[in-house]
Amino acid sequence: MNYFPDEVIEHVFDFVTSHKDRHSISLVCKSWFKIERYSRQNVFIGNCYAINPERLLRRFPCFKSLTLKGKPHFADFNLVPHGWGGFVQPWIEALARSRVGLEELRLKRMVVTDESLELLSRSFVNFKSLVLVSCEGFSTDGLASIASNCRHLQDLDLQENEIDDHRGQWLSCFPETYTSLVTLNFACLEGETNLVALERLVARSPNLRSLKLNRAVPLDALARLMACAPQIVDLGVGSYEDEQDSESCLKLQAAIRKCTSLRSLSGFLEAAPHCLSAFHPVCHNLTSLNLSYAAEIHGSHLIKLIEHCKKLQRIGDKGLEVVASTCKELQELRVFPTDLQGGGNTAVTEDGLVAISAGCPKLHSILYFCQQMTNAALITVAKNCPNFIRFRLCILEPHKPDHVTSQPLDEGFGAIVQACKNLKRLSVSGLLTDQVFLYIGMYATELEMLSIAFAGDTDKGMLYVLNGCKKMRKLEIRDSPFGDAALLADVNKYETMRSLWMSSCEVTLGGCKRLARKAPWLNVEIINENDNNRMEENGYEGRQKVDKLYLYRTVVGTRVDAPPFVWIL
C-alpha cells in the first residue's frame, strides 16, 4: 500500500465506514493514521465527557457527521437527577468557531437548548440532518430556528424527547421554497399542530420518505397527507380517533392503497382501532411494525392486523402467538407491558417467548417484559434461537424465581449465554445468584453491554463478569450486593470500558476514593441528590455507602460543568 498515492488510499478508506474498522486502520502506521484522520467523515463519541470538542477538532478536522451521547442509560428511568450534565452547547459553540462543515448531528440523552439549536441552524450552511433521541431542555422555538435557517435540511427526527411545546408555528417556519425534506418525525410533541402548514410542507416535499406524526393529527388530515405523499416508506400515525365519519375511513383507505412503498408503520398514539383495516392492503409489505405506543389497540384488531403482515422483520406489540405463526422473517421484537388495568387475558408469560423463539428463527433482538419465567423456557428459547445479539428480559417483579420450580433463573440465562455466541447485549432479571455471573463471565465472550438489577449474592458475581467479559463496554448495576472488593479488584479493566454505573449497591465512599486515586484517568462521580454536604462530614465517611456511582474513562480529566450534587473524586 505504500506505493499508492494518498488519494488512492483515501479512496479505499472511503469504503470502510464502521467506526471500529476506521479505528483499526488508523493504528496501522503513521501515514495511514494521517490519511484516516483527514478523511474521517463520521465521528461517534459514546460519552461526551470522555473527550472535548477541541481535541475532537484537532484529530478530525474534516468530519461531516457527529454523534454524541450524554447521560448514562439509567437516566431513562429517572435515576439520574435533573441537571446532571450532558450539555451540547459547548460542542456546538466549538464547532461553529471552527471550519467544520457539519452536515449531521445525532444526539442521545443530551441537554439541548433553544440557543444551541439557533446557533446550530446559523452556523453550518450545508446542515442536513438533526436526530435527537431522549434529549431535553428545548422548545418548539428551537425547532422554528432549524426550520427557518437550514436551507438544505433533509432530516428532522425527534425521538422521545422532552420538548416544551409553545404551540407556536414552527412548521410554518419552513420557507415556501424549501422542498428537500426526507424525514420528519415529531411524534413526541404534545401540543397542537398547524395542520395546514403540515399539509403544505408535505405537498412540496417530493423526497419525503419518513413521516411520524403526533397526537394532534387526526384521521381526515392523515388521509390528505397520505394523498400528498404516496411515496412514503415509513409512517407514524398520530391520533386515530374512532370517527363516526366512515367517509374519512374510506378516503384514508384509498390513499393508503397508493402507498406501495410503505414498509414501516408505527404510532397510533390515540387509537380506536376500527379503521385499522384501512392499513390491511399494505400490511403484506411491512417489514417493521411498532405499536408500542398504541395502548388502545386490543387483541382481536391487533391479531387481524398482524395476520396480514407476512414480511414483518421488526415488531413491538402483544398477540405473540399470532406473531409467531405469521411473521417468519421477524428479526426484532419488543414486548412492553401495555395493560395498566390488568385485564385477565393479556398476561405475558414465558409461553409467549417460547412461541416466538419457535416460530421466528431469524429473531436476533428481543426486549421482553413479562410477569414470570422458567428455566425450562429459557433453555428452550436458547435452543431455538442461538442467533441472539440482544437479549433483554425484564421480569417485572424483582427477585422472582422460576415460578414452577422456585429455583433461581441462573440455569436459564446460563443456557442463553452459552448458546448465543454473538450476544452483545444482555439484561437479566428475576431471582439470580452469583452462579449466573459465573456463566456470563465464562460464555459471553462478545458481550458489550450488561444490565443487572436485584441480582447476585456476593462480590464474586461482579468479579466473574469483570474478569470474564473481555469485550465489556457498558456495565450498569442497581440494587445488587456488590461492593468495594469487586470494584477495586482490577482497576485497569475500566480503561477498556466506556462506563460503569452502580446504584444502591454496597460500594462505599472510601472504596470510591481509593479507586479514584488508583485510576486518575477515570472520572469517578458520586451522585447524591439528597444531602449535598453529608458525604463530607464526620469520620465515618469511609464506610458510608454511596447511593449512585458513575465512572467512565476520559482523556480530558474532570468535567467543569458538574452540578453541586455530583461529586467527582
Rounded to the nearest whole angstrom, what is the least distance from the CB of residue 299 to another protein in the complex? Answer: 11
- Shorter beta-carbon distance to another protein: residue 9 or 450: 450
Candidate list 347, 389, 535, 569; residue touching another protein; CB under 8 A: 347
Closest Cα partner for 569 from 528, 490, 514?
514
Pairing mode of beta strands 129-133, 474-478: unpaired
Per DSSP, 494 falls in state G
- Distance, CA of 355 to chain centre: 26
The reply on whether position 172 binds another protein by CB under 8 A is no
The reply on whether position 54 binds another protein by CB under 8 A is no
Site of grid cell 462543515 = 101
Candidate list 51, 295, 303, 485; residue touching another protein; CB under 8 A: 295
Candidate list 85, 90, 281, 510; residue touching another protein; CB under 8 A: 85
Residues 360-379 that bind another protein (CB under 8 A): 369-372
- Shorter beta-carbon distance to another protein: residue 209 or 474: 474
The reply on whether position 192 binds another protein by CB under 8 A is no
Rounded to the nearest whole angstrom, what is the least distance from the CB of residue 201 to another protein in the complex? Answer: 25
CA distance 542 to 511: 7
Q: Is 419 in contact with 394 (CB distance < 8 Å)?
A: no
CA distance 190 to 215: 7
Residues 507-536 that bind another protein (CB under 8 A): 529-531
The reply on whether position 458 binds another protein by CB under 8 A is no
String of DSSP letters for 121-184: HHH-TT--EEEEES-EEEEHHHHHHHHHH-TT--EEEEES-EEE-----GGGGS-TT-----EE
Candidate list 23, 58, 328, 545; residue touching another protein; CB under 8 A: 545
- Shorter beta-carbon distance to another protein: residue 228 or 322: 322
The reply on whether position 454 binds another protein by CB under 8 A is yes
Rounded to the nearest whole angstrom, what is the least distance from the CB of residue 70 to another protein in the complex? Answer: 12
Q: What CA–CA distances, in Å, run from 448 to 133, 180, 323, 460, 468?
A: 21, 38, 29, 20, 12
The reply on whether position 266 binds another protein by CB under 8 A is no
Interface characters, 220-249, with another protein (x: CB under 8 A): ------------------------------
CA distance 526 to 54: 26
The single-letter code of the amino acid at 551 is L
Residues 122-141 that bind another protein (CB under 8 A): 134, 137-139, 141
- Biggest CA-to-CA distance, the chain: 76
- Shorter beta-carbon distance to another protein: residue 256 or 505: 505
The reply on whether position 160 binds another protein by CB under 8 A is yes
The reply on whether position 76 binds another protein by CB under 8 A is yes
Residues 395-414 that bind another protein (CB under 8 A): 396-400
Interface characters, 466-495, with another protein (x: CB under 8 A): ------------xx----------------
CA distance 518 to 526: 16
Bridge partners, residue 475, by sequence: 450, 500
Candidate list 407, 504, 544, 554; residue touching another protein; CB under 8 A: 504
The reply on whether position 175 binds another protein by CB under 8 A is no
Burial grade of 434 (CB within 10 A; 0-12, 13-18, 19 or more): buried
Candidate list 9, 45, 79, 355; residue touching another protein; CB under 8 A: 79
- Shorter beta-carbon distance to another protein: residue 448 or 476: 476
φ, ψ at 264 (rounded to 5°): -140, 130
